[in-house]
Chains A and B, each alone.
Chain A
Amino acid sequence: MKKRITEPVKKPAVWIGFGVLFTLVTPWYFPAGSWSPLFWGIPYWALIIIAVSLALSIFITWVVLCQWDTGADETEDER
């Protein structure tokens, strides 16, 4: 079966996903200067930013694994 050729840049889901995560990884949506409650000495908003950052890494993993296949390796094998 011929493999599907796909690039992340052409996938609306990739743009939407990165757009949403980029928006959330910038802390504009917290009350200015707020930090309470603290969890293990870390302000609540910082934990949310860390969680969104992790979500960004996981989303990158999904994009690399599922949305990127230019067939360059197959072309290489054929040579």
Chain B
Amino acid sequence: MNMELAFGGWSGILVLGLYGGLMLAVGLFAFLRHRGVRESLDEYYLGGRGLGAMVLFFTFFATQYSGNTVVGYPPTAYRLGYQYLVSVPFFIMIIMVYLFFAPRLYSLGRRFSLLTPVDWIDLRFRSKRVSVLAAILMLYGLGNYLLEQFVAIGQGVSGLTGGTIPYQVGVIFFIVIMVAYSWLGGMRSVAYTDTIQGLALLFGVFTLLIGSLIYLGGLPSAAATMAANAPQKLGAPTGTALTTWFCLLVLVGIGAAIYPHAFQRIFSARSERTLKRSFIRMAYMPFLTAGVVFMVGIIGISAFPDLTTAQSEQLVGMLANALANQNAFFYWAMVLLFGGVIAAIVSTADSVLLTFSSIISHDLYGRYVAPDASEYRKILVGKLVGVAAVVVLVLIAWYPPGTLYQIFVLKFEVLIQTAPALILGLYWRRLNTQAVFVGMLAGTILAAAFTFAGYRPLGVFSGLWGLSLNLLLCVGGSLLFGASPAQRERAEEIIAFPPSAAAARAV
């Protein structure tokens, strides 16, 4: 999202400054209202398991929709045309996948006071190998996700301010603000700021769509351009495009639902009712976000025809510039849009950082290094390691390594390998712990190898090949060897549903 906006400059700096101040104020508010927040893991990382429907909804929203949705999706729609309409259903798929595990997970989260996804894996398998491997995969995936957000923040800020604020200053400014409000109020700060950031993003994309429809032509003129110059952009997908469509539905549906920060949010809900209400709202958001930015990309086809791939990456900046030149309303609306884009990136990054710290605090330091440490100390260690990771990632963002850059690209491919342990573990008593470990490890190695080699047999993504091998080993191993009677009994006690059934059987 590297772009220069002629309309930015000082008005951009004003909006970003105000935005930074507002976020800090929210953090301070959360801190003053909940003084004990840094004394308890539950309070700090899950907002005291008390998030209401609206705040929970926006914090889920922030995990799924980032600044990249606004700036990166329209160029893809521009290049692929209607074949990228898949971006609407793949966001709906995420909620569908949630429904296969969230109900039981929420119930178990309450019963066993679960804090992180690894916490669940540890409860279910009681295996240090499985827990540590899952923690490493999650930290690795989250780290790369954070890196991507930092690069986007820097480019967004320097673009919005017309280069007045250099890339590096933009990154440092927002990281300091983000760490400050996260440290002050933990999950509550993150969730409250997610709400403000989500509203800013929604306002921005709708203004962009309305402006584009008014000033840059609608869908019929875009269709006429495509029919004349590139009819494949209008046509129903076929061959590789169809395989890509299918892969995106599966990979994004499963991958984004089990993003560790998304998974963890299930534990933050105040009640089952609250969680259900948030999911229903989320089921319709793809039309209002992905659908809207998709239309913006399609309108760009007739507004700015014949862009090269590199030029098309600047599409949102070009549209915003064209609108900002129309009148004062759109000028300020576009400044706010880019403020909203940066806000959305920050809101995704803060969620990722909080979950990253929670896995360090609770699953690695708290479980294996110093189980007897106070919760305050565990939180402090999580925060400090989180900041150290941020410093390393920022250095990587500024000085990208010449070789092995793909190490920092793996995200979904790695995270999705934890899915069998997380989801199958909820329902299948015979699930064999060794098979889970071997599947997770082999799936990760295969997915990474295919990604590095740029190998995509049958057009299917590397992450899905890894997941297929993972499932094969995990399910095959469990069917062959089963679980020991002690393991099955233990699994029975944990996952019996409803919980009273286990008690009845025990009697």
Q: Which of B82, B236, B291, B498 contacts A70 (CB 8 A)?
A: B498
* B347 CB to nearest chain A CB (Å): 23
State which of B213-221, B310-318, B452-460 sits at the interface with chain A. B213-221
**Contact: A60 with B280, CB < 8 Å?**
yes
A20 CB within 8 Å of chain B: no
B112 CB within 8 Å of chain A: no
Bound CA span A57–B272, Å: 19
Residue of A nearest to B273 (CB): A73
Bound CA span A57–B95, Å: 9
Residue of A nearest to B227 (CB): A35
Q: Which of A30, A31, A41, A49 contacts B220 (CB 8 A)?
A: A41
| Residue-wise interface mask of A (1-38) relative to B, using a CB-CB cutoff of 8 A (1 in contact, 0 not) | 00001011100001000100010011110111111001
Q: Which of A7, A45, A65, A71 contacts B280 (CB 8 A)?
A: A65
Bound CA span A60–B287, Å: 14
Interfacial chain B residues near A69, Cβ < 8 Å: 272
Q: Which of A7, A22, A72, A73 contacts B249 (CB 8 A)?
A: A22
**Contact: B284 with A31, CB < 8 Å?**
no
B45 CB within 8 Å of chain A: no
Bound CA span A32–B222, Å: 21
**Contact: B89 with A25, CB < 8 Å?**
yes
* A66 CB to nearest chain B CB (Å): 11
Q: Which of A30-54 contact B (CB under 8 A)?
A: 30-35, 38, 40-43, 45-46, 49-50, 52-54
**Contact: A26 with B283, CB < 8 Å?**
no
Interfacial chain A residues near B101, Cβ < 8 Å: 9
B245 CB within 8 Å of chain A: yes
Residue of B nearest to A27 (CB): B236
For chain A, what secondary structure do more than half of its interface residues adopt (helix, strand, loop), or is it mixed? Answer: helix
**Contact: A9 with B100, CB < 8 Å?**
yes
Q: Which of A9, A56, A70 contacts B92 (CB 8 A)?
A: A56
**Contact: B100 with A73, CB < 8 Å?**
no
Q: How many A-B residue pairs have CB under 8 A?
A: 139
Interfacial chain B residues near A27, Cβ < 8 Å: 236-237, 242, 245
**Contact: B231 with A57, CB < 8 Å?**
no
Interfacial chain A residues near B10, Cβ < 8 Å: none
Interfacial chain B residues near A61, Cβ < 8 Å: 280, 283
B65 CB within 8 Å of chain A: no
B497 CB within 8 Å of chain A: yes
* A73 CB to nearest chain B CB (Å): 5
Residue of A nearest to B499 (CB): A75
Bound CA span A61–B236, Å: 28
B106 CB within 8 Å of chain A: yes
B99 CB within 8 Å of chain A: yes
**Contact: A40 with B249, CB < 8 Å?**
no
* B194 CB to nearest chain A CB (Å): 21
| Residue-wise interface mask of B (376-405) relative to A, using a CB-CB cutoff of 8 A (1 in contact, 0 not) | 000000000000000000000000000000
**Contact: B96 with A18, CB < 8 Å?**
yes
Bound CA span A7–B99, Å: 9
| CB contact under 8 A between A60 and B100, given known A35-B231, A68-B276, A72-B107 | no
Interfacial chain A residues near B218, Cβ < 8 Å: 41
Q: Which of B99, B236, B272 contacts A60 (CB 8 A)?
A: B99
**Contact: A25 with B271, CB < 8 Å?**
no
Interfacial chain B residues near A5, Cβ < 8 Å: 497-498
**Contact: A8 with B103, CB < 8 Å?**
yes
**Contact: B238 with A32, CB < 8 Å?**
yes
* B77 CB to nearest chain A CB (Å): 12
**Contact: B231 with A60, CB < 8 Å?**
no
Bound CA span A50–B280, Å: 18
Bound CA span A57–B99, Å: 12
Q: Which of B104, B276, B283 contacts A9 (CB 8 A)?
A: B104
| CB contact under 8 A between A57 and B283, given known A32-B236, A41-B220 | yes
- Show 14 A/B contacts (Cβ-Cβ < 8 Å), sorted by A: A7-B104, A27-B237, A33-B235, A35-B227, A35-B231, A35-B235, A41-B222, A41-B224, A45-B82, A53-B92, A60-B99, A70-B104, A70-B272, A72-B107
**A interface vs B, CB < 8 Å?**
5, 7-9, 14, 18, 22, 25-28, 30-35, 38, 40-43, 45-46, 49-50, 52-54, 56-57, 60-61, 63-65, 68-73, 75-76
**B interface vs A, CB < 8 Å?**
82, 85, 88-89, 92-93, 95-96, 99-101, 103-104, 106-107, 110-111, 218-224, 227, 231-232, 234-239, 242, 245-246, 249, 271-273, 276, 279-280, 283-284, 286-287, 291, 427, 497-499
Told that A9-B103, A22-B249 touch, could you supply 14 new A-B pairs with CB distance under 8 A? Answer: A8-B103, A25-B89, A32-B235, A32-B236, A34-B236, A35-B234, A35-B235, A41-B224, A42-B82, A49-B85, A49-B89, A53-B92, A56-B89, A64-B99
